[in-house]
Amino acid sequence: MTTMTDEAVPTVTDPVCGMWLDPARAVTSEQHDGDTYYFCSSDCRDLFVAEPQRYIGTI
Ligand SMILES: [Zn+2]
């Protein structure tokens, strides 16, 4: 069963793998072009940093 978040917790998407994250629990984050992106792991962050436009542009 898929349960939507019914709490007032802001959620963000890891742009690399698409995982939903609670920003407060994200492993790491990265500033890019004035926005903050959150990642489930440093591996995802490294992929994003290498080619940010690849992940931002597909959304
Ligand atoms: Zn990820």
Query: How many Å lie between the centroid of ligand 1 and the Cα of residue 7?
Result: 22
Query: How many Å lie between the centroid of ligand 1 and the Cα of residue 53?
Result: 16
Instruction: Please indicate, yes or no, whether the overall pTM of this predicted structure exceeds 0.85.
Output: no
Query: How many Å lie between the centroid of ligand 1 and the Cα of residue 47?
Result: 9
How many whole angstroms separate alpha carbon 29 and alpha carbon 53? Answer: 16
Instruction: Output the CA torsion sign for 12, 16, 19, 25.
Output: negative
pLDDT at position 5 is 55
Does 47 have pLDDT greater than 80? yes
Does 59 have pLDDT greater than 80? no
pLDDT, tens digit, for every residue of 6-45? 666 779 999 999 999 999 989 899 999 899 999 999 999 9
How many whole angstroms separate alpha carbon 42 and alpha carbon 49? Answer: 10
